[in-house]
Structure 1
């Protein structure tokens, strides 16, 4: 099934994030301690916590690939959304930690100038993480994965953190350590805003919310299918990166089973053109309104 193939592709993004975080946290902590840079050390510790978030995304993608069983008739696709939710919590904690450290910096400024090399490490890390962000963002759009999208936003936040660390280090080197604190505050708010966006999208999916515009688009498609007299009910929900749609339509009561079945197949074919990862269940009811009008006459 295509959805499971996409989930396997999504693992590439998680593994790329894990590899990048391990590499960058190692060099940041090494250069941070030897170069006397608290900002770079904090950034390195930030990347260590990001490894946990990336592993959570990877585990969610793995669980999502499990086939349906007696307790999960629709499969395990929501594990991917739960992984996104967990990633948002980790990002929020990191953002709050960055804000807390920045506030402390206002009351306890440091006079120790870090090594210029630490600024280079910070900016190099930002470039690497931005590249990982672009890769994961494109991958998430290609496979329509919420978990990989959450990982991409996490990568972007880490790139911003590294830029902030680099600017703060330069400020400390040139005699303006307060710039480090101000930048950290801005970066902390950006991380928390990103975490909130991921959290909100994950909760909407887990509570079976459905995009109203998408529902209206598909309703128009259904109404235009030949043989559909009335669309009586439309229900939709997201299960991981798969969309489940339940329809109730009214048709001519004189149609036989084969003719009615053709209408359902036509509905599925037209919706799949715009929403490939969509499972459609069509319930057919007879439309007796024309008969009632005839009897009244």
Structure 2
């Protein structure tokens, strides 16, 4: 089972548990509010049922957002979760405005304190707080902002139930207006949570960078590895609590392509292991000399090292310059090092292809002499390979 499938199963299971209790508690509070004539208790019941509605959206988003990448969605479907969270927040804002309007325009309060109303509220507080911790722990485990937001939605229900309970207690002691005040408090709690939810996820939709502290921690993780220097140009975006990262690292100037690839993979693996919220890391390899060359870009905008010839041109030049050594020089396996705006070459020669009894030192001197006046070559070295 893939990681995303496991996360999807967790999200669906948690959401179904929350939805069951939201339905039970919402209906219980609405019934108790109706018989108690408590506007605040009915409003709190509607709040719980709004949780049920959002649970339905969360369920479908959970079932689809953690599908793997496909042709039309190469980065996966996690944005569906973010979009769903924004939509849920907007629905809750409408609910909050409706509750506040109904409370303010009500001409009189006929609320009565009943023990079954109080019992429904106490049960809600206990159950919703338990659901909050259950859902939040699952959301943090799979790094799902949508589940964490739904968890806080559950806690807002518990907090609003506390407010309603206080309002009913006020009614019991003869303060009829307490019920209306409690309704407004419920609306404010829902509205505040909804606005925060919408704002945070809209920021994610426009690729706002994650917490700068996280980026610094990721840089420190990469920089702690040997032969990896100065992680820089780090760019990150969030998708439903997952972080997608691009970063540049400096490696030793004479590192081979395969060593650079190894170090890049090592950085990606180490960062993802140390920071589980990081879903993907794209590492760009720079040599340590790049620190010195970035500021010397000409008017055309082309960096100095890109003004040097590419490999195919160099191979053609070497084929001509070393034509008298072609029998024993392995030109295609020449290693190129673009350093300090110049080029260092490592020429590979095959000893078993050299003339019989030839002096390899003299042959080496001849190869280097033929390369001596090439303008872009800073230094050339010859390495003889001997049969094993």
Same fold (TM over 0.5): yes
Quote the residue 1:227 is aligned against: 227
CA separation of 1:286 and 1:34: change in aligned 2, threshold 3 A:
same
TM-score by length of 2: 0.69
Quote the residue 2:268 is aligned against: 268
Equivalent runs, 1:18-33 vs 2, <5 Å: 18-33=19-34
Equivalent runs, 1:101-180 vs 2, <5 Å: 101-105=102-106, 108-111=107-110, 113-180=112-179
Deviation at 1:112? 5.1
In terms of fraction of residues, the more strand-rich structure is 2
Deviation at 1:75? 0.9
Counterparts of 1:286 and 1:88, CA distance in 2: 47
Paired residues of 1:157 and 1:190 also in contact (CA < 8 A)? yes
Counterparts of 2:181 and 2:111, CA distance in 1: 17
Counterparts of 2:132 and 2:232, CA distance in 1: 43
Structure 1 SS opposite 2:120: helix
Paired residues of 1:246 and 1:280 also in contact (CA < 8 A)? yes
Deviation at 1:287? 4.1
Structure 1 SS opposite 2:236: strand
Deviation at 1:263? 1.0
Paired residues of 1:56 and 1:86 also in contact (CA < 8 A)? no
Counterparts of 1:64 and 1:5, CA distance in 2: 13
Counterparts of 1:112 and 1:19, CA distance in 2: 28
Quote the residue 1:68 is aligned against: 69
Structure 1 SS opposite 2:285: strand
Q: Deviations over 1:198-219 (max 9, x none)?
A: 2222122211112211112212
Counterparts of 2:222 and 2:27, CA distance in 1: 55
Paired residues of 2:160 and 2:189 also in contact (CA < 8 A)? no
Structure 2 SS opposite 1:66: coil
Structure 2, gaps ≥5 residues long: 293-338, 343-377, 379-388
Paired residues of 2:139 and 2:145 also in contact (CA < 8 A)? yes
Structure 2 SS opposite 1:280: strand
Paired residues of 2:7 and 2:66 also in contact (CA < 8 A)? no
Deviation at 1:256? 1.5
Counterparts of 1:90 and 1:277, CA distance in 2: 28
Paired residues of 1:80 and 1:240 also in contact (CA < 8 A)? yes
Counterparts of 1:280 and 1:42, CA distance in 2: 46
Greater CA drift, 55-64 or 214-223: 214-223
Quote the residue 2:87 is aligned against: 86
Q: Does 1:49 align with 2:50?
A: yes
Q: Does 1:16 align with 2:21?
A: no
Counterparts of 2:203 and 2:111, CA distance in 1: 47
Quote the residue 2:348 is aligned against: none
Instruction: Flag the structure with larger Rg.
Output: 2
> Aligned-residue CA RMSD in angstroms?
2.3
Deviation at 1:63? 1.1
Q: Does 1:2 align with 2:3?
A: yes
Structure 1 SS opposite 2:340: helix
Quote the residue 2:238 is aligned against: 238
Structure 1 SS opposite 2:126: helix
Deviation at 1:48? 2.3
Quote the residue 1:212 is aligned against: 212
Greater CA drift, 282-291 or 241-250: 282-291
Number of aligned residue pairs: 293
Structure 2 SS opposite 1:74: coil
Counterparts of 1:176 and 1:117, CA distance in 2: 19
Counterparts of 1:82 and 1:261, CA distance in 2: 36
Q: Deviations over 1:95-123 (max 9, x none)?
A: 22232233224xx1224535332222222
Counterparts of 1:208 and 1:5, CA distance in 2: 26
TM-score by length of 1: 0.89
Quote the residue 1:292 is aligned against: 340
Counterparts of 1:132 and 1:80, CA distance in 2: 20
